[in-house]
Amino acid sequence: MIRFQLVFYVFFILISACGAKKVAVKYADSFIETQVEKRLPLYDSQEAALSKDIDKFLNEHKDRVKAIVPILEKIDFNRAASLDEQYPKFAEAYLEIASDFSRILSKYMATFDKKQQKEFLKKLREENNDIFIKDREERRDKIASKTRSFLGGELTKAQAEILQENGKTFDEQVVVRVERRSKLHTDFKTILAQEISTEAKEKLIYEAFVAYQKEALANTKNLTIAKAFIPTLTPDQKKALKQHLMDIQEIIGYFIETAY
């Protein structure tokens, strides 16, 4: 639910100077709290408790985040196979962290009263609609722009052709994403409407989150496209990608050092 915003935040940190990276990591808890509160219609007392839960989560997951470093170190931009080798390890590490964070979301969602449920489900419908109605060409242009930024400059002819050839795949992925989200949202609506205990609701919501996360990670279409880029990378692009990985490791280092 907040994955895009977290990715954007990490991207912001990546392009920041050293001092700005430290500051951004320092206030990661506030950023996450804000993003959650945008999506979960919490009361003031719940927001205060959420802040403590997020700080506790960040402090307790330093070792799990640190475990991502050796995975990044083994990515070889001269070998597409290295992505196949490291993706399952990354997916496992991501799922451990994401599923644990889902426990926090589930705890608060399970306590929603009728007013909160109505507002929450309305926000989910609006988010899905915003994703689906975005102009196809605008979306493709955005993908190309992000790819250029990530690779540190203009794309080669071969790389532009890869994006062009996969345009239909990108469009299909949007449909898949919206359908996956819609199923999750339907599950939430069904669970919240049940006359069962808060503890039972929390368990069912958590299980729905984990099923959604596993399904998303099992979709490796974007990984296949990324692998197609490997043989086309120029020396400068490989250098830019290696720098990104080093920057991520630097950010993780700052995260390990930060007490929330």
**What integer pLDDT is reported at residue 40 of this predicted model?**
95
For residues 221 and 32, give the distance between their C-alpha atoms in angstroms, rounded to a whole number: 28
For residues 63 and 42, give the distance between their C-alpha atoms in angstroms, rounded to a whole number: 30
Contacts of 214 (CB under 8 A, 6+ apart): 95
Contacts of 247 (CB under 8 A, 6+ apart): 13, 14, 21
Whether 117 contacts 192, CB under 8 Å: yes
**What integer pLDDT is reported at residue 15 of this predicted model?**
38
Strand (E) or helix (H) holding 220: none
Query: At residue 215, what is the residue type?
Result: E
pLDDT one-digit tens code per residue, 204-220: 999 999 999 999 999 99
Q: How confident is the model at residue 5 (pLDDT cuts 50, 70, 90)?
A: very low
Range of the domain at 216: 3-257
Report whether pLDDT(7) > 80.
Answer: no
pLDDT one-digit tens code per residue, 79-130: 999 999 999 999 999 999 999 999 999 999 999 999 999 999 999 999 888 8
Counted domains in the chain: 1
- CB-based burial, 229-242: b 16+ in 10 Å, e otherwise: bbebbeeebbebbe
**What integer pLDDT is reported at residue 9 of this predicted model?**
43
Q: How confident is the model at residue 18 (pLDDT cuts 50, 70, 90)?
A: low
Report whether pLDDT(254) > 50.
Answer: yes
For residues 206 and 203, give the distance between their C-alpha atoms in angstroms, rounded to a whole number: 5
- Is 0.85 topped by the overall pTM? yes
- How is residue 121 written in tokens? 């489900």
For residues 43 and 116, give the distance between their C-alpha atoms in angstroms, rounded to a whole number: 9
